[in-house]
Amino acid sequence: MANIAWPPASKRGLIGKSISRIDGPEKASGRAKYTYDQNPVNLLYAKMLTSPYAHAKITALDTSEAERMPGVRAVYVFNGVGKEVNWEGHEILAVAADSEELAEDAVRRVRVEFQQLPYLVDDADLALATKDGRTRQLGAETSGDPAAGFQQAEVTSEGNYAIPVITHCCLESHGSVAQWAGDKLNVWISTQNVSGAAGEYAQSPDLNVPASNVNVDCQVMGGGFGSKFGIDTWGLAAAALAKKSGRPVKLMLDRKPELLMAGSRPSLRGKIRVGAKRDGTIVAWDSDSWGTGGMGVVGIHGLLPYIFRDIPNRGSRYTAVRTNTGPARAWRAPNHPQACFLTMAALDDMAAKLGMDPLDFFLKNLSLAGERAALYQEELQKAAELMEWKAKWHPRGDKTPGPIKRGVGLSIHTWGGLGHDGYCRTTIHPDGSVEVATGTQDLGTGTRTVINIVAAETLGLPLDGIRVEIGDNKYPPDGASGGSTTVGGVSSSTRVSATNALNQLLAKVAPALGTTPDKLEAVAEKIQVIGDPAKAISWKQACARLGTTPIVAMGQRNMSLISSGVGGAQMAEVSVDVETGVVHMEKMVAVQDCGLIIDIKTATSQVYGACIMGTCYALHEEKIMDQQTGTCLNPNMEFYKLSGLDDVGDIVVHMMTDPAIESRGVIGLGEPPVISPGAAIANAVANAIGVRVPELPMTPERVLDALGKGEMA
């Protein structure tokens, strides 16, 4: 009988190799059909009216003129007269019409009146927010004796640091296409939770549809990053408009509402004090921090200091600030990038104050970094080698003549990444074809490819010997894709399912080979006696023995195949033009562990992508809110900036893959490498220009401002 344990390195034909994603050709040829691309016959287009104000009460709403327009088919009201809207972009209504243009016209014909109410959209001024009754301390932690710790400290470093609210900015906006067939609802929806969506539709009294009548389809999706777990109010609206009109409805958010309300990452601002001995030993930490995630009470409580949880004397307090801004959603590695930036910047400033190379300072204090201290040490040393850190590092302030200053910075990070629970079904047909099905989704991480690799490896077949079916809730349920939980979930459920199917096949063919199933293995499109290729029959011959009935076997996530908890180290090299304030990321080194790697190609891409996404939030991304008007100043892609192809330098990825790490099984990778770039790049900028730019993104304005203040000091 085949065993579910991962094969040893010597027996891996596919696992861990560099394999191109199997849906690559569909995507690179434009043939892949995303939710946004679904055009069922008689399609209606829906557009939304959203609040222009940060806070207001709706006092009048008249849709009659809009509804009388020829070609307008249905109206759905999210928030009607008497309801309050609490941020710019808050949903009011949606109109479905024969064309996009007509739906836009109809939205303009809706008469809506508001009574404007007081608002706060900017969280920078904590005193103002407190006076306004908008703050709540989420908790305070104390360990050891912070006051005594600072007395003991020979050097104290103090600073203010901030990282603003940013958005997910998925290129495929949120939305769905809904179509009824009698009492059955079919939806295409750009979602991170294919198997969970039907239950959400079933909860709606507007739809009155049991989950068993809802089919959810998401074969490919244009990004999620944590913002697409739910079907959202507008998902329900599409289904309700389709029901009302009797025609399919497409409701995809336009870019402005997408950026205003479809997901943001909470800000984090804080005042941090660090105390250390002159030899560099950290002895005390104190932080007062706050942030906003919109009207919810959310934030990073419990994460400061980040990683260095064993600093002997520490105090930290976190206050959530409610603002009239679009709601926060999980953003790739929720809370970690913010906590990481504040912590690593404060520690880097302490190293500078001590006159120490931060690499030496971090290495010296890794005993305060918990269970992964040894891993961080190894990773930092590897990163230093790949960055040529010792050659590149200099004390703060590049003394090279001319306006271009270079510097290096570092950071470390951690994440869990335990595979989520889920099921997989493997079917082996008598003709030898195989399908592997699970109700998961591929956000672009390579999930489909991972399933294919694991199934093919398990059954001894080539990749194209397996058909992978995902992205549909008719398949066995899988968990939502968030928190780097998918690869562990699907790789283990696939491994178990394929092994179970194989064992049924082995039982069928063992007599023909004159042996017992436990003596057989599936290798190279054959079933053979273990280690004896001479005693074999081909895969096709073996399957032919099934007669007319396929083998079907289920598998569930298995904890013996997966694990949780990774560490990573990153180093950044930047150049800064001190005349213009422009920062350029010249090089990043990312050293990362994630247990057993299924596909080194897509895994490496995850890390490349994370370094680039991290560069975006380090240098460009900010949801800029204007307290005067209560509105967002940049809900579009020309002023909500992302790095372009020429904005990022070289990236070197090193995956930790020794046998001890691989023996932990599969661990998720999506989140961890996006945590450190902000801190590493910010520390590199400080190293280059000699002063700390205390707030991300490090725009030219902020860099020049920091330089100006530094010169005055």
Partner 1 sequence: MADRDERNHSNDSQREPDAKAEAGEKTAKGFSRRQFIKGSGLAVGAGVLANEGLLKAAGIESTPVVSGPGAVPVQLKINGRLHSLRLEPRVTLLDALRNHLDLTGAKKVCDRATCGACTVIMDGRPVYACTVLAIEAQGHAIETIEGIAPAHKLHPVSQSFVDNDAQQCGFCTSGFVMAVKSYLDHHPNPTYDEAKASLNGNLCRCGTYMGIRKAVLEAATKEKGGRL
Q: 319 or 449: whose CB is closer to partner 1? A: 449
Please list every residue from 171 through 230 that binds partner 1, using CB under 8 A: 171-173, 220-223, 225
Residues 6+ apart with CB under 8 A from 65: 109, 110, 111
Q: Please, what is the minimum distance in Å from the beta carbon of residue 105 to partner 1? A: 9
Q: How many Å apart are CA 333 and CA 267, to the nearest integer? A: 14
Closer to partner 1 by CB, 104 or 310: give it. Answer: 104
- Phi, psi angles (nearest 5°) of residue 284: -150, 150
Closest by CA to 43, choosing from 273, 250, 183, 215, is 250
Q: How far does Cα 200 stand from its chain's mean position?
A: 22
Using left for φ > 0, alpha for ψ between -120 and 50, and beta otherwise, residue 512 falls in alpha
Question: Which phi and psi angles does 625 have, rounded to 5°?
Answer: -105, 140
Minimal distance, residue 624 CB to partner 1, in Å: 14
Distance in Å, CB of 546 to partner 1, minimum: 31
Instruction: Judge whether 231 and 194 are in contact, CB under 8 Å.
Output: no
Q: How far is the CB of 225 from partner 1 (least distance, A)?
A: 8
SS3 241: helix
Residue 702 in contact with residue 709, Cβ under 8 Å? no
What letter represents residue 427's amino acid?
T
Determine if 644 is a binding residue for partner 1 (CB under 8 A).
yes
Six-digit token string for 393: 């590092």
Compute the distance between CA of residue 294 and CA of residue 87 in angstroms, rounded to an integer: 8
- Neighbouring-strand partners of residue 91: 50
141 or 254: whose CB is closer to partner 1? 254
**Closest CB 536 distance from partner 1, rounded Å:** 33
Rule CB under 8 A: which of 3-22 touch partner 1? 20-21
Q: Which of 353, 364, 373, 608 binds partner 1 (CB under 8 A)?
A: 608
Nearer to partner 1, 33 or 83 (CB): 33
When asked if residue 705 is in the footprint of partner 1 (CB under 8 A), the reply is no
Among 609, 629, 657, 705, binds partner 1 (CB under 8 A): 609
Candidates 142, 151, 580, 663; binder of partner 1 (CB under 8 A) is 580
Site string for partner 1, 528-567 (x = CB under 8 A): ----------------------------------------
CB 277 within 8 A of CB 283: yes
Q: How far is the CB of 693 from partner 1 (least distance, A)?
A: 14
Footprint on residues 266-285 left by partner 1 (CB under 8 A):
none
Q: Is 99 in the site for partner 1 (CB under 8 A)?
A: yes
Closer Cβ to partner 1, 218 or 561, answer by number: 218
Q: Dig out the tokens for 707 from the structure.
A: 């330089």
- Identity of the residue, 192 or 528, whose beta carbon is nearer to partner 1 in the bound complex: 192
Using the minimum distance from each CB to partner 1, give the nearer residue, 45 or 389. Answer: 45
In the chain, what is the straight-line distance between the N-terminal and C-terminal CA atoms, in Å? 73
* 403 binds partner 1, rule: CB under 8 A: yes
Nearest-angstrom CA–CA distance, 543 and 429: 7
Q: How far is the CB of 275 from partner 1 (least distance, A)?
A: 37
Of residues 17 through 46, those in contact with partner 1 by CB under 8 A are: 20-21, 23-25, 27-34, 36-37, 39, 45
Question: Residue 416, Cβ neighbours under 10 Å: how many?
Answer: 17
The answer to whether the beta carbons of residues 588 and 409 sit under 8 Å apart is: no
582 scored as a contact of partner 1 (CB under 8 A):
yes
Residue type, 615: T
C-alpha–C-alpha distance, residues 64 and 515, integer Å: 78
Q: Are strands 166-167 and 264-265 parallel, antiparallel or unpaired?
A: antiparallel
CB of 131 to partner 1, least distance (A): 36
Q: Is 104 in the site for partner 1 (CB under 8 A)?
A: yes
Q: Are 434 and 459 in contact (CB under 8 A)?
A: yes
- CA–CA separation, 409 and 383 (whole Å): 11
Tell which positions 667-686 bind partner 1, by CB under 8 A.
none
* Shortest Cβ 457–partner 1 spacing (Å): 20
Q: What sign results for the dihedral spanned by CA atoms 446, 447, 449, 450?
A: positive
Stretch that binds partner 1, among 94-102, 457-465, 472-480, 658-666 (CB under 8 A): 94-102
Strand 214-217 relative to strand 184-189: parallel, antiparallel, unpaired? parallel
DSSP-based three-state secondary structure for 302:
coil
458 binds partner 1 (CB under 8 A): no
Q: Between residues 63 and 167, which has the closer beta carbon with respect to partner 1? A: 167
- Give, as ranges, the residues between 44 and 73 that touch partner 1 (CB under 8 A): 45
Q: How far apart are CA 330 and CA 554, in angstroms?
A: 31
Q: Could you say which of 641, 664, 705, 710 contacts partner 1 (CB under 8 A)? A: 641
Query: In the window 349-378, what residues touch partner 1 (CB under 8 A)?
Result: none
Residue 630: CB minimum distance to partner 1, A: 23
Binding residue for partner 1, selected from 51, 179, 445, 563, defined by CB under 8 A: 445
Pick the stretch among 89-97, 181-189, 461-469, 596-604 that binds partner 1 (CB under 8 A): 596-604
Contact range with partner 1 by CB under 8 A, out of 142-150, 169-177, 394-402, 623-631 = 169-177
For helices 677-689 and 700-712, what crossing angle results, to 10°? 40
CB of 198 to partner 1, least distance (A): 23
Give 29-64 as a DSSP string.
TT----GGG---TT-EEEEEEE-SSSSEEEEEEE-H
Q: 3-class SS at 673?
A: helix
Whichever of 77 and 253 has its CB closer to partner 1, that residue is 253
Residue 452 binds partner 1, judged by CB under 8 A? no
Helical packing angle, 336-354 and 677-689, nearest 10°: 30
Provide, rounded to whole angstroms, the least separation between the CB of residue 129 and partner 1: 30
Q: Does 331 bind partner 1 (CB under 8 A)?
A: no
Residue 647 binds partner 1, judged by CB under 8 A:
yes
**Interface with partner 1: number of residues (CB under 8 A):** 72
Site for partner 1 in 610-639 (CB under 8 A): 610-613, 616, 620, 636-638
C-alpha 589/C-alpha 571 separation (Å) is 5
